[in-house]
Amino acid sequence: MEGLRQDDPTRIGEYTALARLDAAAEAHLVPERRYLARGTDGARTVLVSLPPQGADPGRWAAEARSAGGLTQPGFWPAAQLGGNPAFPWYASPYRPLLPLTAVLAAHGGPLPEATVRAVGAALAETLASAHVLAVVHGGICPASVLLTAYGPLLGCYGAARCLGPDGAPRSGLPGLDSGSLAPEVAAGGPVTPAGDVYALGAVLAFLSTGYTVPERDEIPAGLRRPVAACLSRDPAARPAPARLLAELAPGAAYGSHTAGTEPLSLPGRVVAALADQSVRLLATELPAEVR
């Protein structure tokens, strides 16, 4: 959570922007511009997303509309779509949350293996449920995974599709984390379930090392096999999400991991960072001219 900059919008539809969710230094890796905002009556606080600079607003809005129709658990909902063709946006009810980039910053480095497994299992379960219904996320990266006290949620739906069409190289595009793009997706290939699995492997690598493309011996021994399998250059060699779930959480019941009502066991500094964000946001008042 950072203060607004001069080039940030102050009004987004019926909302007043209060702060940026993402650090300015990481903006080039985030597939959306995300703001914590409040309604002019001061009663409703939301997370509002806008297309990143340089993106095709029409293509981005189409992906946002698709995300608004998703009911799969584990996805951050695009609950309210608004704006116009040149300035689309979507908003969702606020809850304390941190992108995984901010989670590692709050913790001071990579997370414990038990936490990585818990977050990875929840994400694998989300993908398993989505892929059965032919829903491909197409935008998983550390910045698009939003961690709440009750587990991770997937935001930035369709980032690879809206920031670079099929057939056009996507590697190096602003807003896309190249370390999270499967080789075939980076080259401009279609977004597929296997690409989601590769991206999930990059997220697990990031959580356990601080890098999406670490050296193999940097990854904790207990996670090397599942991470390496996800990051295979051969899409056919990557594990299905259900198989990855079974390896990350052996013996656990299916359906018990996706973000829900039971709090996730998180390191103390991460819990404190979530609480700090909530307190700071509650203490932020609307500008006098909109009250």
Each residue's pLDDT tens digit, 110-137: 999 999 999 999 999 999 999 999 999 9
Q: Is residue 237 domain-shared with residue 280, that is, in the same domain?
A: no
- Which strands make up the sheet holding 45-50, listed edge to edge? 11-12, 15-20, 33-39, 45-50, 87-93, 80-84
Q: Is residue 137 domain-shared with residue 190, that is, in the same domain?
A: yes
Q: Is residue 214 domain-shared with residue 118, that is, in the same domain?
A: yes
What is the domain-level CATH number for residue 213?
1.10.510.10
Band of residue 288 on the pLDDT scale cut at 50, 70, 90: low
**Mean pLDDT, to the nearest integer, of 217-222?**
96
Look up the pTM and report it. Answer: 0.94
pLDDT higher than threshold 80 for residue 21 = yes
Q: Is residue 83 domain-shared with residue 50, that is, in the same domain?
A: yes
pLDDT higher than threshold 80 for residue 287 = no
What local confidence, expressed as pLDDT, does residue 244 receive? Answer: 96
What local confidence, expressed as pLDDT, does residue 140 receive? Answer: 97
Higher pLDDT, residue 234 or 27: 234
Band of residue 67 on the pLDDT scale cut at 50, 70, 90: confident
Q: Is residue 71 domain-shared with residue 116, that is, in the same domain?
A: no
The answer to whether 3 and 73 are in contact (CB under 8 A) is no
pLDDT higher than threshold 60 for residue 20 = yes
Total structural domains within the chain: 2
What is the domain-level CATH number for residue 40?
3.30.200.20
**Mean pLDDT, to the nearest integer, of 77-106?**
92
Q: Is residue 221 domain-shared with residue 102, that is, in the same domain?
A: yes
pLDDT higher than threshold 80 for residue 235 = yes
What local confidence, expressed as pLDDT, does residue 160 receive? Answer: 94
The dihedral sign for the CA sequence 77, 58, 37, 24? positive
Q: Is residue 106 domain-shared with residue 74, that is, in the same domain?
A: no
Q: Domain range holding 37?
A: 11-95+275-290
What local confidence, expressed as pLDDT, does residue 43 receive? Answer: 80
